[in-house]
Every structure is written in C-alpha cells, then in structure tokens.
Copies of this chain bind each other. A is one copy, B any other.
Amino acid sequence: MAEFIEPLERLADMFRRLDGVGKKSAMRYAFNVLNLSDDEAIEFAKAIISVKQDVSLCETCQNISTDKICPICASSKRDRSVICVVEDPRSVVAIENTGHYNGVYHVLHGVISPMKGIAPEHLKIKELLRRLKGDEVKEVIIATNLKPEGDATAMYLYKIISPLGVKVTRIANGVPVGGELEYADEITLRRAIEGRHEL
C-alpha cells in the first residue's frame, strides 16, 4: 500500500488517538491541518500544549480548573452544604446550564465499572469523603449517569456516605420534558410512575 508522506501519516496517527476517529477521518484532518495558515497551525499546537500545561484539578472538587481552587468552589455565593457528585466535568457544565443549582460539586472522573476495570479506588472518592468530615455538608446529591454503572456507583456511595450522617439523594429518573410517553423505554416509564408527585 502506498502511504502518504511521513509528516501527514504521523499527524493522522495522532488524530486516531481521539475517540471515534477512524483512519479516513484522521487523514482528512491531517490534510485540513496542511491547509491551515501557519499562524493557525501554531495556534493549534499551542492550544494542545496549553490544555496539558494549564489545566489541573481543583483541589477541592476535582473538577478541571486553571486555578488551584476552581471558581465554583472559590465563590462565596455557593452553598457548601450541598455537594452534587458527577462523573465528569461535562456534567458540571450541563448542571450549571440549568441555572437552578447553587451548591458545589464533586467530580469522580468516572463511574465504577468492573467490565472496564474501574474500581472505587480509581475514582476521586477518598477526596469526596475528606470533604464530608466536619458538619458543613448536609446533603450529597448523586448525579452519575442513569445507566447500570452510574446506578451501581450511586449505591456504592450511598453505602459509605450515609453512615456518616449525611443525607444522600439521587437525581430523578423519568420521561424527559417534552418527551412522548410512547417513545420512553419501559424502565424509564416505570420509574417515572414510581417517582410521581402531587400537583
């Protein structure tokens, strides 16, 4: 097989390390880079280095941050008595975008998954437990995904946190707003009925 010239092949190899990028897309991206201006290419290379150099984890909530303590943890306006536990930084952005949560967060960086070899000690759980010492935290909301692995992680956390006298809650399962009942799967619908509330 004829190959492309070495610099393009090498760059395509790097693109292939990104999730869901196959051989053809990777080569297309490498050609795209070839067509960027010199300045854009330099900007791209710097952006990659910057993500590694300037981003670390907030010492408190473990969310990605450019500061030692992230803006949410540092804010005097946030309610430190409620911690919402999520699996990744994207969940934080999603919840912030609701505009209806004023507590703080804790990012686990994954969920427990025996299939993928992810055990509790691979997650930021001991950092969470450290935050629960003292009386400040009244409630931990577990907002991991609503799939079996997220549910199992929620149960695991419930078992180790509730003995500490902290209330542990789980975000609700249900039919999405705007969703048609006929398109909801059976388990979602069953949980939506179980979780019904008075109007």
User: In this assembly, does A140 line the interface, its C-beta being within 8 Å of a C-beta of chain B?
Assistant: no
Contact count band on A: 35 or more
**Among residues 70 to 112 in chain A, which have CB atoms less than 8 Å away from a CB atom of chain B?**
89-90, 92-93, 96-97
Cβ A5 vs Cβ B64 within 8 A: yes
- Name A's B-contacting residues (CB within 8 A): 1-8, 10-11, 13-14, 17-21, 25, 27-34, 36, 38, 40-52, 54-55, 64-66, 89-90, 92-93, 96-97
Interface of A is mostly: helix
Q: How far is the CB of A137 from chain B (nearest CB, A)?
A: 23
One complex includes copies of this chain to the number of 2
Q: Which residue of B lies closest to A45 (CB)?
A: B45
For A29, A40, A42, A48, which residue has the most chain B Cβ atoms within 10 angstroms?
Answer: A48
